[in-house]
Amino acid sequence: MGKSGTPLRQRKGPAPNDADEDEDDLLSEAVADASSQGSRQWWLGVIVLLVVVNCLLGYVHMQRKGKSKPVAGQDVSGYKTIKSFSDEFSGYKTIKSFSDESLSAHIAGHPNGTLVNFHSLDCLHCKKLAPEFETASKELQRIYDTSFVSVDAALVPEALKRYSVTRYPTLLWFRRGELLKVAPSAARTASKIVDFVDQSLQPSVIDFASRDDFDKAVEQLRAVLSEESLPVVVGFASGPEVYDALQQAAEKFRGSTAFLFVREARPDDPYVRAYSWKAGGDKEYKSALAMQDFHKWLQPLMERNTKR
C-alpha cells in the first residue's frame, strides 16, 4: 500500500455527495406531497358530504314549516291552518254565507227574533261554540219562530262597525230588525243559549185592561219605589203605535225596570209617562213616537241611578 492510499478501514462504501442528498430530499417531499394531497381529498369529501346533508335538512325544515305555520291568534300548540279551521266549521246548518246587505235583509225578515253568532275562522272559542249553537238552535226552533245564524265576521265588515263587534264569538239578539241586547259571555253552552233566548222572548210588558184598575195600582206602585229606583214606564192606548214602541223599549231595557201598558186612555194622557217614587218626579212623553226619538227621551231615565 502506497503512502498516498487510503487505509482500507476507511473505504467501506462510496462517499456521500450533494447529488445523493438532493435525491433524498426530493423523495421526502414527494412522500409528504402525496400524503398531503390524500388528506386534502379526504377533507374535501367530508365538506361536500356536510353541504349535501345541510341542504337536505334545510329542505325538510322548509317543507314542515310550510305545512305547520300557525295562524295569528291561534294557540300555537295546535298549529292548524285556516283551511283546517274552515273544514271544522263546515257541516253546521246555522252557518250561513252572508254579506252586509243579505244579513240585514235576513234580520229584517225575521221580526220574531234572530240570534246572530259572529265568528272568526281562526278562533278556537268559536270552534268550540259552533256545535253548542247548532244544538240550541234545533231545540229552540221547535218552540219559537226564530232564526239562528252563524256569520263569518270577515264577510260583514259594515255590520261589525254598526254593532260594535270587536271580539269573537259575539252573540247578538235582534227583534223587529233592531239590536236589543248582547248575550252574556257565559252563554257558551247549548243550555245557556236556550235560557238566554227563552228569557228574551218572555212578555216584556204588563197589561192593564182598564184605566180604573191602573189608577188603583198607582199608589201601591209608588210605595215600592225609592228615590234611587228607576221609574216605572207606562204607556197609554192613545194611538196604535204606542204598544209597539213600548214593547221594543221594554225588550231593550229588560231587567232594568217594569213596563206597563194601559189599554184605555183619557184625553189628557200622554203617550208614555215615567212614574217616579213621588208624583212631582214623573216625566211625560208627548212627541211623535219615532223609535229613535222615544229611545233618546227614555235613555237618560234608565241611566239616572247609575249617575247617582
Structure confidence at residue 84 (pLDDT) = 44
Structure confidence at residue 253 (pLDDT) = 85
Q: How far apart are CA 64 and CA 182, in angstroms?
A: 42
Structure confidence at residue 77 (pLDDT) = 37
pLDDT of 79 > 70? The answer is: no
Average pLDDT, the chain: 77
Q: What angle do CA 157, 160, 165 make, to 5 degrees?
A: 145
Structure confidence at residue 162 (pLDDT) = 95
Of the ranges 51-65, 149-163, 192-206, which is most confident? 149-163
When pLDDT is cut at 50, 70 and 90, the band that residue 55 belongs to is low
Q: What are 204's three cell numbers?
A: 216584556
When pLDDT is cut at 50, 70 and 90, the band that residue 188 belongs to is very high
pLDDT of 61 > 90? The answer is: no
pLDDT above 70 covers what percent of the chain? 69
Structure confidence at residue 304 (pLDDT) = 61
pLDDT tens, 274-303? 999 998 899 999 888 887 888 889 999 988
pLDDT above 90 covers what percent of the chain? 41
pLDDT tens, 215-240? 999 988 999 899 889 999 999 987 77
Are domains 82-200 and 206-307 of this chain identical in fold?
Answer: yes
CATH number belonging to domain 82-200: 3.40.30.10
Instruction: Give me the mean pLDDT over the 61-73 stretch.
Output: 45
pLDDT tens, 6-50? 443 444 444 444 444 444 454 455 445 545 555 556 555 555 555
Structure confidence at residue 80 (pLDDT) = 39
When pLDDT is cut at 50, 70 and 90, the band that residue 101 belongs to is very high
Structure confidence at residue 56 (pLDDT) = 60
Instruction: Give me the mean pLDDT over the 247-274 stretch.
Output: 89
What is the chain's percent helix, strand, coil content, to nearest 5?
50, 15, 35
Q: How far apart are CA 118 and CA 150, in angstroms?
A: 6
pLDDT tens, 114-155? 999 999 988 999 999 999 999 999 999 899 999 999 999 999
Q: At what angle do helices 82-89 and 124-140 cross, to 10 degrees?
A: 10
- Residue 251: how many other CB atoms lie within 10 Å: 22
How is the chain split into domains, by residue range?
82-200, 206-307
Structure confidence at residue 48 (pLDDT) = 53
The CATH architecture that domain 206-307 belongs to is 3-Layer(aba) Sandwich (3.40)
Q: How far apart are CA 157 and CA 239, in angstroms?
A: 39
Strands 232-236 and 272-275: antiparallel
